[in-house]
Structure 1
Amino acid sequence: MAALTDPVDVGGVAVPNRLYRAPVLECAGTGEGAVDALIDELAPTAASGVGLVFQGASVVTAESGCAAPNMTRVHDPEFVAELERLTGTVHDHGGRIFVQLAQGGLRSLEAWHAGHRERNPEVEQLAVSRPPWQLRLLDRVGLVDLSPRVLSTDEVYDLAEQFGRAAGYAADAGYDGIHLSGANMGIVQQFCSPLYNRRDDEFGTGADEPPGSGGLRFLEAVHDAVREHAGDVPLVTKVPAETAAPSFVRRHLSFEDGVRLATRTAEAGYDAVVPVDVSTFWDMSVIRGKFPERAWSAAELQSGYAAAFGGPVRARAVRLLNRVQARGFDREPGWNADLCRAVRRRVDVPVLCEGGIRERATCERLLGDDASPAAADLVGMARPFYAEPRLGARLLAGEDALCASCNNCTVPQAAGEPGRCRTPSVVRERATLERAGAYERRGGSGDEGTVADEREGE
């Protein structure tokens, strides 16, 4: 059993404790002011004592690939070199920082954001295969606008190479590790998912192979490219099990498929895995919680929603769908725990668990207690850091997060707004805690530990 305040080793990098800020959109962009915006967003988290900070999904291609407005791109070595100011700041606070690399594929802005599509009419979405019929149906009725370009075998290798080059730029800029965005309907999940991947080349899944085999080969190609460009920098990836897929989706990754894929990924040389229960689509399986009534009703955001979804009528349709979905997903804190625990029994690398974690007791339970075996070696939170950028100080001192999973922070991002808490009761409580000095960093961390050392004694 490990405590949240215990140190841990991830791919040779000593992390001072087992709390991490899970990847979440910083909405910093790539232009002037982006580095300062990232420092403003992430430095307070490191200063509060969080051991590992993940910079959210950063796109490896020069065009397409952004799944939401104002995402950061990391294809340009000159821009990434400027991020040394960010990594240096995190290191000055005693933390570690990994960058999450991403490419949205069919989830990219061009498919769903009407305003972006009007400004960029020629941009296509990278596709693993011909889009599944469900997306083609949405395209026919006008809810999305697909312009897919199915990748050739050579282009798949080129894409893996782009991940590798971006990883090399990041390592040169002082990032401690690389995290692949392997779920949430990004391109990596699309390679892994039998719904999206119907290729007949080496990146497809043969008739005699288990689901996800083509995705594993893509992950192996990315691994090799990262090693070529970034050396032995720690490499982590999310690994999906598509158990939250809608009932009308017949082809998806089962729980057992997700466990097998995570196990094979670790065997392929990845230094840690983040198993997640998700859908085949970008829906509220990613951000489970309450329906964000305040965010949808805010008068100042209506024009942004209309621009994103193609008019006020379509924006209201998306709002209705959001309301329905808010009732459809389990909100049990640590909803990925069962999958993580099953994977952890099979691998000898760290397993990271996230998903609705809000209380210190949940963190300790996931790390292992007398009642249940450990599900993870590190535990992460994402949305709570929108509400409390310096949350680490309170969590590491034994307190709980204020976040109520109301999602008023996330929906406005579709309108190009930054992620921040918009729930008045939470904002007031944070202000009260700030005045009381609750976010002053307290305590320290112990000696370095390794996953292998702990499991030997379990």
Structure 2
Amino acid sequence: MPAEKLFTPVDIRGVHVRNRLWVSPMCQYSVEEWDGVPTDWHLAHLGSLARGGAGLVMTEATAVNPEGRITNWDTGIWNDTQADAWRRIVGFIHSQGATAAMQLAHAGRKASTFREWSGKGSQAVEDGGWETVAPSAVAFDGYATPRELTVEEIKGIVADFAAAARRALDAGFDGLEIHGAHGYLVHQFLSPLSNLRTDEYGGSLENRARILLEIVRALRAEAGDAVPLLVRLSATDWVDGGWNLEDTITVAGWAAAAGADWFDLSSGGLVARASIPVKPMYQVGFATAVREGTGMPVNAVGLITTPQEAAQIVGNDEADAVMVAREFLRDPHFGLRAAHELGVELDYWPPQYTRAAWRTGA
């Protein structure tokens, strides 16, 4: 039955995930000390989602080096102090029966900005910001112009992803995701709108995809054969002449050959002026196209807000799992509620909450 399939487990390499209703990465901008160390907020936030029935809980975009943060208020995984703090959070996620994964990220030209409630646009160096870097010296609309990365610096960022992956795994995370979407650094390399390079990292699709494939290979080498490796991609820039679905399918196939296991399909984020036809489940077709074009498992994301929508997507084989963001913020127990509404009995209600458990027919 379609409803039941949403709550069937899935095995990815050596990791067992209890269902296919997963928590999407969601930036919290809550590191008040500006040191990248996750706090009690992150414990409560991610822990509540694990307790609420999610199969896999993904961290927010977590920077692989200080310059890779979107804001000063972002989490990081570039030092051991940060890794130690993440270990406590992972332990609680596991105690609730959920799988813990970390999204590794570098914001590129969209780094050194204010969080939404603290300011607008780029944070100047004199105010605690930093010089941003990118494939080319092309600014995101309204942000500071970045400095073009040297080839040596690109290699250094690949190494930073590998070192961050090792720290994440040592902290207990079960899986890793490379953030290659939403206009951040990897996406900036992929798109011809932001990558104007003429060396081995620019020009052809093969060259623009080079950094992603190098990161995939580096993480697979670091993680070994038992760890799931996901890649989040924006399927389209929603702008003529930009990155598109055909490119996404091609590069996803290359990434799979390099060691990626699963693809998480979103869209947009590279160009502020893009016109995006937002509506419920508007990105599901991208996931389906990549699934059919590569034969690889995929997540669907984007305005999936009801149990029925999630069950339909997985039950009809439009995607292998769904990632939900805002609905989990509205209701941290969305996983448990979804099972009840779909008539599925779960055996992982927290024992402290069983007096309140919904039962089929109740």
Q: Does TM, scored on the shorter chain, surpass 0.5?
A: yes
5 Å-filtered alignment, 1:30-429, equals: 31=35, 34-62=38-66, 64-110=67-113, 113=121, 115=123, 117-120=125-128, 123-131=130-138, 135=140, 143-146=142-145, 148-206=146-204, 211=205, 213-232=206-225, 233-245=227-239, 250-281=240-271, 328-369=275-316, 374-398=317-341
Residue range with higher mean Cα deviation, 28-37 or 90-99: 28-37
**Matched-pair contact (CA < 8 Å) for 2:107–2:185:** yes
**Matched-pair contact (CA < 8 Å) for 2:217–2:258:** no
Per-residue deviation, 1:18: 0.2
Alignment match, 1:322: none
Per-residue deviation, 1:255: 2.1
State the distance in 1 between where 2:71 and 2:355 align: 31
State the distance in 2 between where 1:6 and 1:237 align: 22
Kindly tell me the number of residue pairs found equivalent between the two proteins.
340
State the distance in 1 between where 2:36 and 2:178 align: 25
State the distance in 2 between where 1:105 and 1:33 align: 20
Cα displacement string for residues 135-185 of structure 1 (whole angstroms, at most 9, x for unaligned residues)? 4xx5xxxx4332x22111121111011011001000000001111111111
1:382/1:257 Cα in 2 relative to 1: closer, same or farther (>3 Å)? same
Alignment match, 2:350: none
Per-residue deviation, 1:440: 4.8
Per-residue deviation, 1:263: 2.4
Per-residue deviation, 1:57: 0.4
1:243/1:204 Cα in 2 relative to 1: closer, same or farther (>3 Å)? closer
State the distance in 2 between where 1:181 and 1:441 align: 36
Aligned residues with identical type, % of pairs: 29
Larger radius of gyration: 1
State the distance in 2 between where 1:386 and 1:439 align: 23
Q: What runs of 5+ residues in structure 2 fail to find an aligned partner?
A: 115-119, 344-352
**Matched-pair contact (CA < 8 Å) for 1:223–1:270:** yes
Alignment match, 1:28: 30
**Matched-pair contact (CA < 8 Å) for 1:110–1:125:** no
1:205/1:114 Cα in 2 relative to 1: closer, same or farther (>3 Å)? closer
TM-score w.r.t. length of structure 2: 0.86
Cα RMSD between the aligned structures?
2.6
SS of residue paired to 2:249: helix
Per-residue deviation, 1:198: 2.0
TM-score w.r.t. length of structure 1: 0.69
Per-residue deviation, 1:188: 0.8
Per-residue deviation, 1:337: 1.2
Per-residue deviation, 1:229: 3.0
State the distance in 1 between where 2:161 and 2:336 align: 34
In the alignment, residue 272 of structure 1 is paired with which amino acid?
W
SS of residue paired to 1:397: helix
